[in-house]
Amino acid sequence: MKSIHQVIREHINSYYDEAVEIRRHLHRHPELSFHEKETSAYISSKLSAYGISHQTHVSGYGIVALIEGKNPEKTCVALRADMDALPIFEQSEKSYCSVNEGVMHACGHDAHSTILLIAARILQELKHEFEGSIKLLFQPAEEKLPGGAKAMIEAGVLHHPEVKAIAGLHVLPTMEAGKVGFRSGPFMASGDEVNITVKGKGGHAAMPDLINDTVLVASQIIVNLQQVASRMAPPLVPTVLSFGKIIANGAHNIIPSEVKIHGTFRTFDEVWGKKAALKIEEIARHTAEAAGAKAEVFIEKGYPVLLNDPITTEKAFESATQYLGHEHVIHIDQRMTAEDFAWYTHEVPACFFRLGTANAAEGIISGLHTPTFDIDESSLATGIGTMVSVALGLLTETR
């Protein structure tokens, strides 16, 4: 008699070509956060073809599907994938390169949706082999605040039936294809967006005595704010404050009256995060005032710390190990990146894990959010098998 893992592998072998086709279609037709209309319609059409009942237009373009096994009311676990892409111009000669100029799946959400779709097809065909229900969440807008997860939670996706545990994955281009990585406890940082506007009297750059040099003030603010992470943060609390965008729309000889600064604040301690926000505002304001200018600070609260439930993560780790083997399942470090899957982790026991997608021999090593990002498509099979195994494992353990 075949084991469940043998059955899963046989199904994956049968549907692998379809998985590649789906992933390439999604990669070729990316859509930005809150605009995933065609992506959602495509996923819905696949679910319908698989005979899986689902609801569309949940909190925008979200989709919620349900697979009922034997005794479906016994328990329910959820699996989540995100669907949106990034505003990046893809640099690729691949046949599946984005046809939507300036929009690209540079974070692997095309792979995430593909993995969940094929996992759903397999689970639908195995529904007489397990007890309970499996809820599938295809979520929009992970990449842009306020994010799609919170809105879907508010729409009630974790109820009717009540979700007892949830799992999700994310590609990791620094890990070789064929492997998955897990981390229990606080796994990913909170992420707040820092927005500072420096205002003053602009004018001719050759007459600095008659103006407030807003560009210089903005530069001083950025330098002074580095002490928030280097001197004010508790030494044992990971903290990052980085600025990635400065808009000083002057010229060689023109100092503008306004400069905008945009950055991100990350930490694993929400209490410290609130204190840091006050420090950021205080330093920016005082720095500007010392130069006769003014600084307006707006910090938009982003995603919270992602908390992997220890028991749920251990169960998922065991299920992945049983399916892939010990050599392919590893423990990984915390990450200062942020994820809106974190919202689910504050509602129900959760496990968010990473899927290796790198292939150095083939040159597939580009990082996330870069114009040359790609995946080793063999990782789709690894992700599908792991997702199915984790779902079944959580069903047997969750009451």
Active site (catalytic) residues: 84, 142
CA atoms within 13 A on the CB side of 373: 25
Stated as kind and residue range, the H or E segment containing 176 is strand 165-176
Burial 117-143 (b: 16+ CB within 10 A, else e): bbbbbbbbbbbeebebbbbbbbbbbbb
Can you tell me which residue has the tokens 């001197």? 231
Query: CA dist 218 to 47, 256, 380, Å?
Result: 51, 11, 45
* CB contact at 8 A, 27 and 105: yes
SS3 per-residue string spanning 219-267: HHHHHHHHHHHHHHCCCCCCEEEEEEEEECCCECCEECCEEEEEEEEEE
Check if the beta carbon of residue 151 is closer than 8 Å to that of residue 60.
yes
Beta-carbon-side half-sphere exposure of residue 104 (alpha carbons within 13 Å) = 20
Pairing assessment for the beta strands 239-247 and 258-267 based on DSSP bridges: antiparallel
Helix (H) or strand (E) holding 190: strand 190-199
Coil, strand or helix at 351 = strand
Alpha carbons within 13 angstroms on the beta-carbon side of residue 120 total 31
∠ Cα 136 180 382 (to 5°): 65
Task: Concatenate the DSSP letters of all residues of 97-119 into one string.
Answer: --SSTT-B--SSHHHHHHHHHHH
In this structure, are residues 71 and 128 in contact, taking their beta carbons and an 8 Å threshold? no
70 secondary structure, DSSP code? B
